[in-house]
Amino acid sequence: MSYVRMATHPAIFDRPLAYRDAARNVEALLAIPSCRVIAEEEGFWDVYGEVTKDVPTKGNLVPDAHLAALLSQHGVVKLYTHDRDFKKFSFLHVHDPLI
Protein backbone atom coordinates (compact mmCIF):
# COMPACT_ATOMS: atom_id res chain seq x y z
CA MET A 1 0.00 0.00 0.00
CA SER A 2 2.91 2.33 0.64
CA TYR A 3 4.05 1.86 -2.96
CA VAL A 4 0.59 2.72 -4.28
CA ARG A 5 0.43 5.73 -1.96
CA MET A 6 3.77 7.09 -3.15
CA ALA A 7 3.51 6.15 -6.85
CA THR A 8 0.17 7.97 -7.18
CA HIS A 9 1.10 11.01 -5.08
CA PRO A 10 1.34 14.30 -7.02
CA ALA A 11 3.59 15.90 -4.38
CA ILE A 12 6.17 13.14 -4.91
CA PHE A 13 6.10 12.79 -8.70
CA ASP A 14 5.53 15.38 -11.41
CA ARG A 15 3.59 12.71 -13.30
CA PRO A 16 2.26 10.25 -10.72
CA LEU A 17 0.85 6.94 -11.83
CA ALA A 18 -2.86 6.43 -12.15
CA TYR A 19 -4.17 4.15 -9.41
CA ARG A 20 -4.85 1.35 -11.88
CA ASP A 21 -1.27 1.49 -13.24
CA ALA A 22 0.19 1.34 -9.73
CA ALA A 23 -2.14 -1.53 -8.86
CA ARG A 24 -1.01 -3.43 -12.00
CA ASN A 25 2.60 -2.98 -10.87
CA VAL A 26 1.74 -4.51 -7.50
CA GLU A 27 -0.09 -7.38 -9.18
CA ALA A 28 2.95 -8.07 -11.41
CA LEU A 29 5.22 -8.11 -8.37
CA LEU A 30 2.91 -10.46 -6.47
CA ALA A 31 2.91 -12.83 -9.46
CA ILE A 32 6.67 -13.43 -9.08
CA PRO A 33 7.08 -16.82 -7.37
CA SER A 34 9.82 -15.58 -5.04
CA CYS A 35 7.76 -12.60 -3.84
CA ARG A 36 6.64 -13.02 -0.25
CA VAL A 37 4.04 -10.79 1.38
CA ILE A 38 4.56 -10.15 5.07
CA ALA A 39 1.78 -9.17 7.43
CA GLU A 40 1.15 -8.62 11.11
CA GLU A 41 1.20 -11.85 13.07
CA GLU A 42 0.45 -12.78 16.66
CA GLY A 43 2.48 -10.59 19.00
CA PHE A 44 2.85 -7.73 16.51
CA TRP A 45 1.96 -5.04 19.05
CA ASP A 46 4.77 -6.22 21.33
CA VAL A 47 7.23 -6.10 18.41
CA TYR A 48 5.98 -2.60 17.52
CA GLY A 49 6.57 -1.52 21.11
CA GLU A 50 10.11 -2.92 21.07
CA VAL A 51 10.95 -1.30 17.73
CA THR A 52 9.64 2.10 18.82
CA LYS A 53 10.77 2.16 22.47
CA ASP A 54 13.78 4.38 21.70
CA VAL A 55 12.26 6.23 18.72
CA PRO A 56 9.80 9.07 19.35
CA THR A 57 7.05 7.84 17.05
CA LYS A 58 4.33 10.24 15.97
CA GLY A 59 2.84 11.76 12.84
CA ASN A 60 4.54 10.78 9.60
CA LEU A 61 6.91 8.38 11.39
CA VAL A 62 4.04 6.08 12.43
CA PRO A 63 3.69 4.34 9.01
CA ASP A 64 7.48 3.87 8.85
CA ALA A 65 7.48 2.42 12.37
CA HIS A 66 4.70 0.07 11.36
CA LEU A 67 6.75 -1.14 8.38
CA ALA A 68 9.87 -1.41 10.53
CA ALA A 69 7.97 -3.55 13.05
CA LEU A 70 6.70 -5.79 10.26
CA LEU A 71 10.26 -6.21 9.01
CA SER A 72 11.48 -6.99 12.50
CA GLN A 73 8.73 -9.52 13.13
CA HIS A 74 9.73 -11.37 9.95
CA GLY A 75 13.47 -11.26 10.55
CA VAL A 76 14.28 -8.71 7.83
CA VAL A 77 17.30 -6.60 8.80
CA LYS A 78 18.46 -5.14 5.46
CA LEU A 79 16.37 -2.48 3.74
CA TYR A 80 17.01 -0.62 0.50
CA THR A 81 15.22 2.72 0.65
CA HIS A 82 15.80 6.40 0.02
CA ASP A 83 13.73 7.19 3.14
CA ARG A 84 16.23 8.23 5.82
CA ASP A 85 13.68 7.79 8.62
CA PHE A 86 14.31 4.05 8.61
CA LYS A 87 17.83 4.72 9.92
CA LYS A 88 16.16 5.59 13.23
CA PHE A 89 15.44 1.89 13.81
CA SER A 90 18.72 0.44 15.06
CA PHE A 91 18.06 -3.17 13.99
CA LEU A 92 17.80 -2.16 10.32
CA HIS A 93 20.79 -1.90 8.01
CA VAL A 94 19.54 0.77 5.63
CA HIS A 95 21.06 1.18 2.17
CA ASP A 96 20.10 4.05 -0.13
CA PRO A 97 19.92 2.72 -3.70
CA LEU A 98 20.09 6.26 -5.11
CA ILE A 99 23.53 7.02 -3.72
- Which H or E run includes 79? strand 78-80
Q: Where are the beta strands (DSSP E) in 3-96?
A: 78-80, 93-95
- Local confidence pLDDT in tens for the 99 residues of the chain: 888 999 999 999 999 999 999 999 999 999 999 999 999 999 999 999 999 999 999 998 999 999 999 999 999 999 999 999 999 999 999 999 998
> Nearest Cα to 69, choosing from 80, 83, 55, 82?
55
**pLDDT value, residue 76:** 96
Answer for the pair 17, 34: CB distance below 8 angstroms, yes or no.
no
